Amino acid sequence: MARNRRDEELILRIARMRYDQKLAQHEIAKQLAVSESTISRALKAAMDLGFVEIQITPYAMRDFELERRLVQRFGLEFAVVVQPRAGAQNAYEILGRAIARTVEDRLTPGTVLGVSDGDTVAAVAAAIRRGKSSDVDVVSLIGGVGAPQIPSHSSEVCRMLAAGLGARAWQLPVPAIVDDVVAARGLLETASVKAVFDLVRRMTVALVGIGSISPRATVFRHGVIDNAYIETIAARGAVGTICGRFFGPDGKPVASEFDERTLSVTLEDLARAPLGIAAALGPNKAPAIRAAIQGRIVNALGTDSDTARALLEG
């Protein structure tokens, strides 16, 4: 028998209550004043209609031995290592889902979650679901990068994470780098920007991408800093970048002429977060990831198996 639109809307509502809000079937039945058997039939119909798909969880794609070795080698709080398989989703999606589940489990009332820009962090934002508490503030760690409609844009990452968690979003409504120091100082004194940076300094969890010194790094790829500067900052010893800040192989900051004009978290403030999670993949990033860990800029890692092996071999 064909279902009418109202039937499908009810089925979708029940599916969302079960899988997005994580309510038990008897709780849904009570709220909607229907029988549990009605809920069971609706959930089966949701599967048949394609509203719900069954997938292998990212937990099943994790390499626990590599995670153990990374934690032991680098003294990490935890490591999440995924093994993308042929025919499965792309590595960013799998890693994003795996990190998202880990982040959700660690959010407690009053958490301030700082987030950067970048493809891997954007994949986490796309996969995030409501955690144990919605009393969470999500705050951007860097001003706008690129066009706002790009998923890896800092404002979009912040918005998506907050929406998925049911949390409060604190976006940073300024460019990542402004034209001169006077303009930067003026913006930092405005009430809206000052409030965001005050929250940044109180963050309890940080989730950041790490870029190598290459055209693929977000800060260069989105045109925040011209690619011609890559050779200059590399010659000064930089091996990686986080939120437009550069660091060397020991994890110590490498000065650039953009520092005083950059509106983003400092590496020092980032390192003060009790939990700092790097979300990055690609063996080419291993030197930058290793430096960020050894310099204690971050103390947890989400990556793929190829990158994990490159880290352990270095």
Per the rule left: phi > 0, alpha: psi between -120 and 50, beta: everything else, 263 is beta
In the prediction, which pLDDT does 200 show?
96
Confidence band, pLDDT 50/70/90 cuts, at residue 260: very high
* Residue 272 identity: R
Report yes or no: 116 and 141 within 8 Å, Cβ to Cβ: yes
SS3 56: coil
Q: Alpha helix locations (H) across the chain?
A: 5-19, 25-32, 36-48, 64-74, 91-105, 119-127, 154-165, 181-188, 191-200, 218-221, 229-235, 267-271, 286-294, 305-313
Distance CA 70, CA 79 (A): 7
The yes-or-no verdict on residue 268 having pLDDT over 50 is yes
The yes-or-no verdict on residue 292 having pLDDT over 50 is yes
In the prediction, which pLDDT does 87 show?
45
Report yes or no: 210 and 288 within 8 Å, Cβ to Cβ: yes
Distance CA 173, CA 258 (A): 19
Confidence band, pLDDT 50/70/90 cuts, at residue 207: very high
Percent of the chain with pLDDT over 90: 67
From the list 279, 11, 45, the residue with the least C-alpha distance to 141 is 279
Q: For tokens 């270095």, name the residue.
A: 314
Distance CA 95, CA 99 (A): 6
* pLDDT tens, residue by residue, 51-66: 886 665 665 678 999 9
Per the rule left: phi > 0, alpha: psi between -120 and 50, beta: everything else, 88 is beta
- Pick among 3.40.50.300, 3.40.50.1360, 3.30.450.40, 3.60.10.10: CATH of 58-313: 3.40.50.1360
β pairing state of 205-208 and 275-279:
parallel
Confidence band, pLDDT 50/70/90 cuts, at residue 148: low
Distance CA 168, CA 20 (A): 18
Distance CA 183, CA 258 (A): 13
Q: 5-48 has which fold?
A: Arc Repressor Mutant, subunit A (1.10.10)
Residue count of the chain, please give it: 314
In the prediction, which pLDDT does 313 show?
93
Percent of the chain with pLDDT over 70: 92
Distance CA 97, CA 61 (A): 11
In the prediction, which pLDDT does 89 show?
53
Rg (CA), the chain: 21
Confidence band, pLDDT 50/70/90 cuts, at residue 155: confident
In the prediction, which pLDDT does 145 show?
45
SS3 229: helix
The yes-or-no verdict on residue 147 having pLDDT over 70 is no
Domain boundary assignment for the chain: 5-48, 58-313
The yes-or-no verdict on residue 88 having pLDDT over 50 is no
What mean pLDDT is predicted for residues 40-48?
A: 89
Distance CA 155, CA 173 (A): 8
Confidence band, pLDDT 50/70/90 cuts, at residue 201: very high
User: Is 222 or 70 the better-scoring residue by pLDDT?
Assistant: 70
The yes-or-no verdict on residue 213 having pLDDT over 70 is yes
DSSP states of 81-128:
EE---TTS--HHHHHHHHHHHHHHHT--TTEEEEE--SHHHHHHHHH-
In the prediction, which pLDDT does 22 show?
83
